[in-house]
Structure 1
Amino acid sequence: MLAWTIYISMGAAALLLLLPRRSAQAARVVALAAAIGGFVVALLGFLAQRPGETVTVVRVPWVPTLGIEYHLAADGISASLVLLTGVVAITGVLFSWNIEERAKEFFAFFLLLIGSVYGVFLSWDLFLLFVFYEIVIIPKYFLITIWGSTRKEYGAMKLAIYSFVGSAMVLVGLIAAYVVAGEHSLSLDVLAGHYFPQHFQMWAFPLVFVGFAILAGLWPFHTWAPTGHVAAPTAASMLLAGVVMKLGAYGCLRVAMTLFPLGMAPWGFHFLGFGSWRDVFSILAVIGIVYGATVAMVQKDFKFVIGYSSVSHMGFITLGLMTLNLTGVTGAVMQMISHGLLAGLLFAVVGRMVYARTHTREFSKLGPMHLNKVIPFAAVTFIIAGMASMGLPGFSGFIAEMMILLGAWKAFPMLAALTGVGIVLGVVYVWRAMQKAFFAGDSQGATQPPGEYHEPIPPITLPEKLAAGILIASSICVGVYPQFLLRVIQPALNSPLFAALHNGGWQ
């Protein structure tokens, strides 16, 4: 059933290209119907997922001579991320409802990207996963270069170059694993059951991990992320932050850590204070958390604040993965979902609700506009999304970050303490951005009406309100009843697929 998430999305993308050039309204309807259809399938598949079970969706030979199969399957982790993708797809279409310029091409690229993301999360053959992973790069490049802004060609090219470099590293690692295993198969369950020599894992693990982590915004390979987010149109920013960056984190867990767990074992010596690759990536994760929050605090562009905040929050995911305990890794998966919802909402507020109406993202220009009075719905939405991303109890961010911090405290207490600094800085940059964007006019005692600063600002539309409500409600549902996701995520992490990881250092 879950395979239809891919087929519906890509089939609708092809259908859109057959529509008349000026059929913008028809393109929106087709895109929304496809997004809703994919979400319904994802939800039904998730609800049918049994804890600890891996369901084979389809498995047929593709390139038999190389042992490559068209193999789609799902466990609790895959099913949860597929569900996240369905939610982001619907809200992305709603926030793009007013797109007029080449609407059918926009939504065709949008759905092609969504279908490819579904494919990555469901692929159980690593060659198939790699194919879907590469397809993602194509539509996201064109979405930015055609419908983006603010040095859009530079942002798109930088994102593509970083993505292709990371993909090349992953491909080298997968080919090496295929040759060393001698199994004539790239099936995940087959390779996960093969014992790779430790000396091989010591170089294969960092190669594949970094290759995927580049797309996850790992410091210092993060620089594409703020640039790409700022250049992208709203829906593309939502997809980049909501699901595309999660592909990198998912690859780190599903491929690098599953196949090469001994790559995180101690080296037997220390170099510059590091004793293992686990130490290296843990430190880089904490640096990313603190660095992203610090840089976000001093930004003058509203969207750059959210871009660097994504770098900081993605650092939590890497840190959770490196704890190598059930609590921390579960928190990392929960953070993938939480950040996907909240970052998407924050980018929608900045890009669609504010920038599309005011034509500026500069705090110095937004402040005098009294946006809290002109578009109060945007102000309230940003406050809710900002507090949720800070980890306010009752929202998904609290559960995710709490589990990561608890897991980190068990694994490396000093790093957990430093991570707390990043959380405090997160409070600062969110409240600073909120004050400067929405309340600066009031705090400065300005008395001029908003119309004297800018042309009349259109009100928030019904599709935008509906999309914001969906994302907020989803975050609250996860925050209030996390067991909805935990019931399938934790058993998946304890499944035989991760047996090698357990033996390699699961604490």
Structure 2
Amino acid sequence: MDTQFPWLTLITLLPLGAALFIPLLPDQDGRTVRWYALGIGLLDFVLAAAVFAQHYDMQTAQVQLAESYAWIPQIGLNWSLAVDGLSMPLILLTGLINTVAIFAAWQVKHKSRLFYFLMLALYSAQIGVFAAQDLLLFFLVWEIELVPVYLLISIWGGPKRQYAATKFIIYTAVGSLFILLAGLAMAFYGGNFTLDMTALGLKDYPLTLELLAYAGFLLAFGVKLPIFPLHTWLPDAHGEASAPVSMVLAGVLLKMGGYGLIRFNTQMLPDAHIYFAPVIIALGVVNIVYGALTAFGQDNLKRRLAHSSISHMGFVLLGIGSLNSVGLNGAMLQMLSHGLIAAVLFFLAGVTYDRTHTLAMEKMGGMAQVMPKTFALFTAGSMASLALPGMSGFVSELTVFIGLTSSDAFTSSFKMGVIFLGAVGLLLTPVYLLSMLRRVFTGNQQGDMFDKYMADANPREVFIAVSLLLPILAVGLYPKLATQTYDVTTTALAAQVHQALPAIAQEQVPLYAQLTHSAPEIPLSATAIARF
């Protein structure tokens, strides 16, 4: 492959460009359109995997791909794309989840042309977010991604779809404004205006500006992750979205928030990250415990899974706030792991809904007798979600805990408190997941709505679930399959943060030292937040 060929541009724009031809396709009950959309999704995924493998440097464990073209020079906007250890695995995750989500939408016949057009447009926007290296380009694709999701929920969603879609667009659009405000403040600082994200990370900002920019990015990405209390749009969106849309929402969109926190907050603003690290960890603990506790109160199957996602994304925050490479490794692995696990669980929730026409667990029961394949697949996904050893969820959450406990930036009492509260969330997870399985699949059938001849998962549905469960098992048994793609990048990021520690140490104050070690060589600013 010629390294000068614009592979990243092709990978990014192929789904959107192909979607433009959908209105020209002959439509026979949507069959031609759905096969076309599936072919494009699979082609883009395979192309990305092949290009990344071809340009993967074994010595540096990095993909050597970068492109930059002048787009609108009058405002300094460039079409600038690049792939590194952070973006490559997330782009591959995007390709896999979107492809299987299109396959999962096989029964969509209402406005099928528009549905698959939006799915492919969303596919392109997601890749653009992970590959963009120009701040304004990043903001544009981040905003463009909101439109397909809004329409996919508002047109093909449940009874309260308009409310859920409107809440989603308001939360995420308002949060996105903080990306633009914080980014432009950084771009104009110093008299050398630039939108290049690498150049922005190299600027020497005053601490006040860096803290303000960090807070702005935290709000924006905190909505998408989501972080409590900015999370309330998520259960509503999942509760009303169709299963394929929920797969993409949980499998990819939430990871955009975690990616932004690592790419912008950690990499570009390392000094502020040191000050905010205890806050990030505290928010992570709240997410873990709050999400697990509120999951118990959800009778709606998909809303329970949505609150479970809030809890699991808390581990991403713990890893980001740990200030070491092991913790960052765990955060990345948790994003990849949760993307696969959440996608398969929401897909199987959709399979269950297709048969029962309800998401209310109180109306279910005894379905294991008539749907044994679905029960087996749902159980496997739930075991992965509750971090059963041998599956990716166990490895990722264990890595986060090891990263936090091995961090020399916090006192033992602080770390033990965080570990204890995180363990509470871990203990609650199997309880609400096993309770969910019991209520849906065991016991007596509720009412007379179920037919003893109800169709079990068909071969297409089994294939979709297995295609997501196999990577979960593979990463669980051999984590290096995933970690080798980003280990060098996360190690470099952790080293960059640690370089800022000596400067922060000179500004220590007594209250700050109560949370962290007082030794100058291993400081962390907790009370600087109060000063800010």
Is the TM value for this pair above 0.5? yes
- 1:426-484 C-alpha deviation (Å, 9 max, x unpaired): 0101000000000132xxxx6x9x96645853332222111101000011111112112
Corresponding residue of 2:406 = 410
Corresponding residue number in structure 1 for 2:56: 49
What secondary structure does 2:224 align onto?
coil
Match of 2:336 in 1: 337
Per-residue CA deviations over 1:21-42 (Å, capped at 9, x if unaligned) read: 5550011111110111111022
Give 1:489-500 correspondences, 5 Å limit: 489-495=486-492, 500=496
Aligned match for 1:83, one of 74, 86, 92 = 92
2:426 equivalent in structure 1: 423
One-letter identity of the residue aligned with 2:168: L
Q: Is the 8 A contact 1:389 1:397 kept in 2?
A: yes
1:458 matched to 2:455: yes
* 1:381 corresponds to which of 359, 377, 394: 377
Looking at structure 1, the residues matched to 89 and 282 of structure 2 have their Cα atoms a distance apart, in angstroms, of 28
**Which amino acid in structure 2 is aligned with residue 397 of structure 1?**
G
Deviation string 1:38-68 (CA, Å, 9 cap, x unpaired) is 1102212332322353533321112223332
Aligned counterpart, 1:17: 23
Residues 1:192 and 2:201 aligned together: yes
Given candidates 381, 387, 399, the residue that maps to 2:395 is: 399
* Kept in 1: contact 2:289–2:424 (CA 8 A): yes
Q: Structure 1 residue runs of 4+, over 3 Å off?
A: 20-23, 51-54, 450-456, 497-500
For residues 369 and 99 of structure 2, the distance between their equivalents in structure 1, rounded to whole angstroms, comes to 28
Contact 1:75-1:492 within 8 A present in 2 as well: yes
Structure 1 residue identity aligned to 2:423: G
Deviations 1:244-280 (CA, angstroms, capped at 9, x unpaired): 11111111111122221211334xxxxxxxxxx2222
**Aligned match of 1:58 in 53, 67, 75?**
67
What is residue 274 of structure 2 aligned with on the other side? 265
Read off the aligned partner of 1:417 and give its amino acid letter: F
Alpha carbons of structure 1 residues 56 and 121: separation in structure 2 relative to 1, 3 Å: same
Opposite residue 361 of structure 1, the aligned amino acid is L
Shift of 1:306: 0.3
Once residues 499 and 198 of structure 1 are traced to their aligned partners in structure 2, the CA distance between those partners, rounded to angstroms, is 20
Q: Are the structure 2 counterparts of residues 393 and 46 from structure 1 closer, same or farther at C-alpha, using a change threshold of 3 Å?
A: farther
Alignment of 1:64-143 (within 5 A): 64-143=73-152
Aligned length: 487
| SS of corresponding position for 2:358 | coil
| Alignment partner, residue 270 of structure 1 | none
Gaps of 5+ in 1: 267-276
1:308, distance to aligned residue in structure 2 (A): 0.4
Following superposition, the deviation at residue 298 of structure 1 comes to 2.4
> In the alignment, which of 147, 171, 184 is matched to residue 175 of structure 1?
184
Structure 1 pair 502/64, CA: closer, same or farther in 2 (3 Å)?
A: farther
Counterpart in the other structure of 2:300: 301
Cα-to-partner distance string for 1:148-169 (whole Å, 9 max, x where unaligned): 1041111111111110111011
Measured in 1, the distance between the counterparts of 2:499 and 2:167 equals 39
1:145 aligns with 2:154: yes
RMSD, aligned α-carbons: 1.9
Does 2:357 correspond to 1:359?
A: yes
- The answer to whether the 8 A contact 1:46-1:83 is kept is no
TM-score for the superposition, normalised by structure 1? 0.92
In structure 1, what residue type is equivalent to 2:461?
Answer: E
Give the C-alpha shift of residue 498 in structure 1.
6.9
Rounded to whole Å, the distance in 2 between the matches of 1:334 and 1:402 is 10
Greater relative contact order (Cα < 8 A, sep 6+): 1
Measured in 1, the distance between the counterparts of 2:224 and 2:322 equals: 20
Q: Secondary structure, in 3 states, of the residue corresponding to 1:124? A: coil
Partner of 1:38: 44
Which residue identity does 1:33 align to in structure 2? G
Provide the rounded CA distance (Å) in 1 between the counterparts of 2:338 and 2:435.
20
Question: Using the alignment, how far apart are the partners of 2:143 and 2:102 within structure 1?
Answer: 23
**In the alignment, structure 1 residue 439 sits paired with structure 2 residue 442:** yes
1:373 and 1:45 map into 2 onto residues whose CA distance is 46
- Give the Cα separation in 2 of the matches to 1:298 and 1:201: 40
C-alpha distance in structure 1 between counterparts of 2:352 and 2:150, whole Å: 24
**How far apart are residue 182 of structure 1 and its match?**
3.2
Specify the SS of the correspondent of 1:200.
helix
- Matches of 1:211 and 1:120, distance apart in 2: 14
Identify the residue that residue 482 of structure 1 maps to in structure 2.
Answer: 479
Larger displacement relative to structure 2 (178-187 or 432-441) = 178-187
1:471 aligns with 2:475: no
Percent identical residues: 32
CA distance in 2, matches of 1:294, 1:17: 46
- Partners in 1 of 2:86 and 2:467 — Cα distance? 22
Q: Please give the alpha-carbon distance, in whole angstroms, between the structure 2 residues aligned to 1:258 and 1:375.
A: 48
Cα distance in 1 for partners of 2:213, 2:420 equals: 31
Contact 2:26 2:32 in 1 (8 A): no
The structure-2 alpha-carbon separation of the partners of 1:134 and 1:469, relative to structure 1 and needing over 3 Å to count, comes to: same
Contact 2:341 2:381 in 1 (8 A): yes
| Aligned-partner Cα distance in 2 for 1:181–1:430 | 52
Equivalent positions of 1:179-328 (< 5 A) are 179-266=188-275, 277-328=276-327
SS in structure 2 of the partner of residue 58 of structure 1? strand
State whether residues 297 and 425 of structure 1, in contact with CA within 8 Å, keep that contact through their aligned partners in structure 2: no
**Could you tell me how far apart the structure 1 residues matched to 2:473 and 2:209 are?**
44
Q: Secondary structure at the match of 1:100?
A: coil
Asked if 1:28 corresponds to 2:25, the answer is no
Structure 1 distance, partners of 2:448, 2:299, is 23
Q: Judging changes above 3 Å, is the alpha-carbon distance between structure 1 residues 281 and 460 closer, same or farther for their aligned structure 2 residues?
A: same
- Alpha-carbon distance in 2 for matches of 1:227, 1:504: 41
Matches of 1:498 and 1:164 in 2, distance apart? 31
Q: Distance in 2 between matches of 1:493 and 1:505?
A: 17
Secondary structure of the equivalent of 1:494? helix
